[in-house]
Amino acid sequence: MSIHVEQAIIHSISQDKDGQLSCRLRPQPLLNGSAVEAIVAELHQIYSAKAGKGFGYFGISGDDGEANPAFMDALRGYTLGKQGFVDFSAIAGKLLQQELSKYDFSQGGFLLLACYTYLTSDYLFVALLNAKPSMTVLDDMELSQNTHLDLANLQLAARIDLSEWQSEEESRKYISFVRGRAGRKVADFFLDFMGCVEGVNPKAQSKQLMQAVEDFVAESDMTKEERQTCRERVFEYCTEQMDSGSEVMLKDLADELAESGMDSFYDFASGGDYELEEEFPADKATLRQLKKFSGTGGGVSLSFDGTHLGERVIYDPVSDTILIKGVPANLKDQLDRRLKGD
């Protein structure tokens, strides 16, 4: 993995016996080059693999609420060379402490800030990490208890694409952040301390893309097989982009379809009411519906490939029933054994 770390630092935010939070600032950047490269590379990989991330930008006071510009101003001062990385990080640490102090659920953690280059882009990684107890065996076979940073359980983290922020002022997606379970942000305070406002919604954009694809094939003279091929090609392209950490490019996607004989998708998708961005991060779980149908409810779960609809799987909306031809062997075995038992 080609990562070059420019600067990295860790500050500690802890709670005293009276429940007050304080920020212990490190006076200089982390010095152990190999250890720093290793931890940033691991965090980059863990973060990139996180599904369902949100995307946003630095808000202006009064834009979608009262966004605090202090973090943005300090970061701009650092990128313009008006202040050092340590000074910028100290401002960030104090801002996070102040934001955390508004709530009674936090016990703090370790604030890691790292500026690094990956491929052709510069990034600032921001994460609040927790420490986790662990056991190790010493040379004399004695057990020793210590603590280590819990990198695997990365929940409060954001990554700012500094290159995009500086070159595209109108972008609304240069900040990405980890979302919590069930599609919610783990904690709004983490975005509030950075003054981040949510911008492009990957799930909403993916739903609009799916609708554009369905309308496109419905209005074409494609055969059933060609329609499914179109859906699968869209899914494959988007998956390739997501796996490489890239965004979906509407024009490139249209060119991919044109190579398969499916012309004019770009004009169709960009000229309709789909409100699709030219470039946007996609949501794989949403786009998977191009290939599969699935649903759960009332104790029943059902999933099948889209190619089976109308053939092995017959849906009757009038009677609200689904007929499955060719029951999967393992399910058939379970059903046969139950029937014999009854």
DSSP conformational letter for 59: P
pLDDT at 235: 92
Element of type H or E holding 45: helix 33-49
* 142 and 60 within one domain: yes
Helix (H, G, I), strand (E, B) or coil at 16: coil
* 194 and 70 within one domain: yes
* 335 and 285 within one domain: no
Domain's final residue, options 163, 182, 198: 198
* 317 and 257 within one domain: no
* 315 and 170 within one domain: no
* 312 and 251 within one domain: no
Distance CA 297, CA 295 (A): 7
pLDDT at 187: 61
Backbone angles phi, psi at 332, to 5 degrees: -60, -40
pLDDT at 33: 86
Domain's final residue, options 198, 218, 246: 198
DSSP conformational letter for 176: E
pLDDT at 183: 45
Distance CA 94, CA 39 (A): 23
Domain's final residue, options 269, 289, 309: 289
How does the average pLDDT of the chain come out, rounded?
Answer: 87
What is the pLDDT confidence band of residue 28, given thresholds at 50, 70 and 90?
A: very high
DSSP conformational letter for 186: S
* 300 and 181 within one domain: no
Burial of 209: CB neighbours in 10 Å, binned 0-12, 13-18, 19+: buried
Is the pLDDT confidence value at 126 over 90?
A: yes
pLDDT at 1: 57
Give the predicted TM-score (pTM) of the model: 0.78
Q: In which domain, by residue range, is 298 found? A: 293-341
Average pLDDT over residues 90-105: 88
Burial of 323: CB neighbours in 10 Å, binned 0-12, 13-18, 19+: exposed
pLDDT at 59: 83
* 243 and 95 within one domain: no
Instruction: Extract long-range pairs of 161-167: CB within 8 Å, 24+ residues apart.
Output: 161/121, 161/122, 161/123, 162/79, 162/115, 162/121, 162/122, 162/123, 162/124, 163/120, 163/121, 163/122, 164/121, 165/57, 165/58, 166/79
* 95 and 10 within one domain: yes
Is the pLDDT confidence value at 277 over 80?
A: yes
* Tens of pLDDT, residues 36-93: 999 999 999 999 888 778 899 998 644 445 678 999 999 999 999 999 999 999 999 9
* 88 and 183 within one domain: yes
Report yes or no: 233 and 222 within 8 Å, Cβ to Cβ: no
* 274 and 182 within one domain: no
What is the pLDDT confidence band of residue 101, given thresholds at 50, 70 and 90?
A: confident
pLDDT at 234: 92
Report yes or no: 228 and 306 within 8 Å, Cβ to Cβ: yes
* Tens of pLDDT, residues 129-160: 988 888 888 888 888 888 888 888 888 999 99
Is the pLDDT confidence value at 342 over 90?
A: no
Residue 115 burial (CB count, 10 A): 24
121-143 burial, b at 16+ Cβ within 10 Å, e below that, comes to ebbbbbbbbbeeeeeeeeeeeee
pLDDT at 299: 87
* 151 and 137 within one domain: yes
pLDDT at 44: 94
Average pLDDT over residues 254-274: 86
Structure tokens at 103: 């709530």
Q: How many domains does the chain have?
A: 3
The residues near 341 (Cβ < 8 Å, ≥ 6 apart) are none
* Tens of pLDDT, residues 204-225: 999 999 999 999 989 888 888 8
* Tens of pLDDT, residues 153-203: 888 999 999 999 999 888 889 999 987 654 444 567 888 999 998 888 888
Report yes or no: 39 and 127 within 8 Å, Cβ to Cβ: no
